[in-house]
Amino acid sequence: MLPAHRSSMNSSQKFCTVCGALLVSGTRFCGQCGSPVPGQNPTDLPDTSRTAVPRTAQGSRESPVQAGPEQITGIVPFIEHGLLSVIYYILIVTPQRLIFCTWNPDTDEAMSEAEDVVMQESCTISETTDEIAYFRAKDWTVGPWQRYLSMPIDTIAASAPGSISIPVSSIYEVNIICENRASTQDQMYIEGSDRKHTFDLMFSQGPFVFQLLRPVLGEKVHMAEHLHKRHGLDRLLTGQEYK
């Protein structure tokens, strides 16, 4: 049975088989969505710009979303968590998630050697402020951590026990706090829908991480400098390092 609004119309009137719009007699294409009218034998193909697109419940047009494959957009090598029992991570960034993949210094020779090289670079610089400037300018896109680019993303975390995968959609805010005077250890705080995470960004990688996360998280990611309050032994013993 035809709907009430159609039952009152002339039975000779035709409707588009794609979008249901009323067709003008003799037309070869639907004036609403551009689809060819069956039986009209059109000699021209409809303009692709008139192809029907999905409508929302409110009836407004939307461009269809093309869900492409997940791709790695950045890798950060030296990230740690913990003080007495340190966990070592490599951060893999994708538009869908942040994967903190664990690595073991005792078994991962390539990463251990790479860390030793960076430590040796650090030892050749006398002033901490010069170290910070050096590492902030360092190219972190070269190293054994780039091996993850050739691995299926879903297997990265699964292959390393203790890894953490944080969906981008669950992240409320990320704050990166950069040392600018007394240390080359920056920090990152992630607040998500399920829990909060804290990570140490070794070798002044704060600005590098911020640069990778900004295209993914937009205004959800922030970066600031530490404001020091205590110094020397007092600073070390009390742990009250910053304002």
Provide the pLDDT for residue 84: 84
> Confidence class of residue 183 from pLDDT cuts 50, 70 and 90?
very high
Q: Give the full edge-to-edge strand order of the sheet including 196-201.
A: 164-167, 97-102, 87-93, 74-81, 196-201, 186-192, 171-178, 221-225
Has residue 11 got a pLDDT over 70?
Answer: no
Has residue 23 got a pLDDT over 60?
Answer: yes
pLDDT above 70: percentage of residues in the chain = 67
Q: What is the pLDDT of residues 61-116, one digit of tens each?
A: 333 333 468 899 999 999 999 988 999 999 999 999 999 999 999 999 999 999 99
Provide the pLDDT for residue 21: 64
Task: Please state, rounded to an integer, the average pLDDT across all residues of the chain.
Answer: 79
Provide the pLDDT for residue 27: 66
Alpha-carbon distance 119 to 121, whole Å? 5
If one looks up domain 74-238 in CATH, what number appears? 2.30.29.30
Q: What is the pLDDT of residues 54-75, one digit of tens each?
A: 333 333 333 333 346 889 999 9
Provide the pLDDT for residue 227: 67
H/E stretch holding 7 reads: helix 4-7
Alpha-carbon distance 162 to 221, whole Å? 25
Has residue 206 got a pLDDT over 60?
Answer: yes
Under the phi-then-psi rule, with left for phi > 0, alpha for psi from -120 to 50, and beta for the rest, what region is 227? beta
pLDDT above 90: percentage of residues in the chain = 58
CA angle 205, 212, 87 (to 5 degrees): 50
Alpha-carbon distance 100 to 160, whole Å? 10
Q: Which two tokens stand for residue 197?
A: 């995470």
For range 202-209, the mean pLDDT: 97
> Which residue ranges make up each domain of the chain?
1-57, 74-238
Provide the pLDDT for residue 159: 86
Q: Are strands 221-225 and 97-102 parallel, antiparallel or unpaired?
A: unpaired
For range 147-154, the mean pLDDT: 92
Q: Which of 217, 216, 238, 241 is nearest to 71 (CA)?
A: 216
Provide the pLDDT for residue 69: 82
DSSP 8-class letter at 65: P
Count of beta carbons in the 10 Å neighbourhood of residue 143: 18
